[in-house]
Amino acid sequence: MELGALLAGCALLRVGAAGAGQAVQLDLVDLGGGRASHITVGLVGAAQAVPEMLLAFALARLADRFGRRRFLIGGPLLGMLAVLLLAGAVHPAQIGVARLFEGVGAAAFVPTALGTIAAATSSDRAVRARASGAFEGATLVGYAGGFLVGPLFYHLLGRGCFLVLAVFYLAAALVCLRFVPTIPPLPTSPVGVIMRAITGPGPIRVFIPAWLAVNTLVGGWYFNLASLLRQSRDPSQTLVHGFDNRVISAILLGWVALLILGIVLWTPVLRRLGGPSTMRLAIPGVYLIGIGTLLMNHLPLSWAPALLPIAALGVMTIGGFGPAAVAYLADCSETLAADRSALMAFYTITLAGGGALGSVLGGLFAKWLLLDGLVVLGVLCATVALISLSAVVRYERGREVVREPSIPR
């Protein structure tokens, strides 16, 4: 019941967050008279991610120390207040301030939820693989709902859509209030011990470049794609087309559905191969997405149905990365069981840090090359991740050799 409530709360929170993220992009395009500043779009996207990155560790540590339940309830409530502020925002600066508060709410909820899931699955690797896949699946279901609700209700209600999105945040808080039991605080480790576990010699430090690179890629596309699809037509790129908000919603929803299918297909592979090897196999999907997108972007729109399977295969392939990363981080958290939320805050810090960096870089690359710029950014990030994951695999193989008992001669 506890895990199911956490997954439901996560999905509801992500509906609110993703819906707000997409509706804000469309709002900025309208405020700009049909052509938003790509730099402004990137900075507003970063405004939500930066506080999530900066505060995740501190809030997660407080959750371990004082009890996780109050943070699982308070985070969504703060997100609700933030999207209510968005409903009254009429200037990019006001939108940015509201998104800052939304990021604080996410920083309170996400690492705390991950720490609770890691604690509940510590005894069984197969259960942890399924729970990690379920967490990523719940996250993506939330994104799918947000991609549907945000653009659709913005089309119908304008800024009134943020009132609808506030309901999802409230629902997340109520689910956790009703179904997540009170978790007694545990004696926590000194901050220095936790920081050494993250930044000292060990698996998390080796994993940092790969996880940061992938989240930079995701941030670049997530915070900039909708505005590019929505802005006025550009004769040099087919997909910069001035699409209707409902068409954009359908495109984003289709991508999330493919990611969820990818998670389902990858879960048995994750149980068999483990996190690092699964992540390394998933990354090449980004190259397929890039190839399919470039072809669609430089051929007539009538070619898109024939080219979509290339990008779709890439999306399903990269779908294996998220649950593998969550499972690997949960394995790493076993070293300090009482500080799971603080250690799992690494997920949120790099997710938000990569998102903020990707949002700004995505805006710069979009200013340079429009949608092609996002493809270039994605390929660069995927290459960094692939190189880094090779180091992670080598590290884990080295640990296995050390753990093997010596054979008497």
Round to whole Å and give the CA distance between 273 and 285.
18
Q: Beta partners for 237?
A: 234
Q: Could you give all domains of the chain from N- to C-terminal order, each with its CATH number?
A: 2-181+194-403 (1.20.1250.20)
The confidence score (pLDDT) of residue 409 equals: 44
Give 192's Cβ-side CA count (13 Å radius): 0
pTM, two decimals, is 0.79
The confidence score (pLDDT) of residue 162 equals: 96
The confidence score (pLDDT) of residue 336 equals: 61
Mean pLDDT by 10 residues, the chain (409 residues): 83 94 90 82 88 87 82 95 94 93 92 78 70 81 89 92 96 91 68 73 83 93 88 90 86 89 91 91 97 96 95 95 86 66 72 87 93 96 95 84 54
Q: Beta partners for 163?
A: none
* Among 276, 268, 367, 361, CA closest to 321: 276
The confidence score (pLDDT) of residue 118 equals: 72
Q: Which residues contact 88 (CB under 8 A, 6 or more apart)?
A: 94, 159
Q: Which residues contact 336 (CB under 8 A, 6 or more apart)?
A: 189, 193, 194, 197, 342, 343
∠ Cα 73 75 80 (to 5°):
100
Q: Are 20 and 164 in contact (CB under 8 A)?
A: no
The confidence score (pLDDT) of residue 407 equals: 45
Q: Are 168 and 12 in contact (CB under 8 A)?
A: yes
The confidence score (pLDDT) of residue 403 equals: 59
The confidence score (pLDDT) of residue 86 equals: 95
The confidence score (pLDDT) of residue 301 equals: 93
Using CA atoms, how far residue 331 sits from 192, 305, 311, 397, in Å, is: 20, 41, 32, 15
The confidence score (pLDDT) of residue 344 equals: 66
Residue 195 phi, psi (nearest 5): -65, -35
Round to whole Å and give the CA distance between 227 and 52.
23
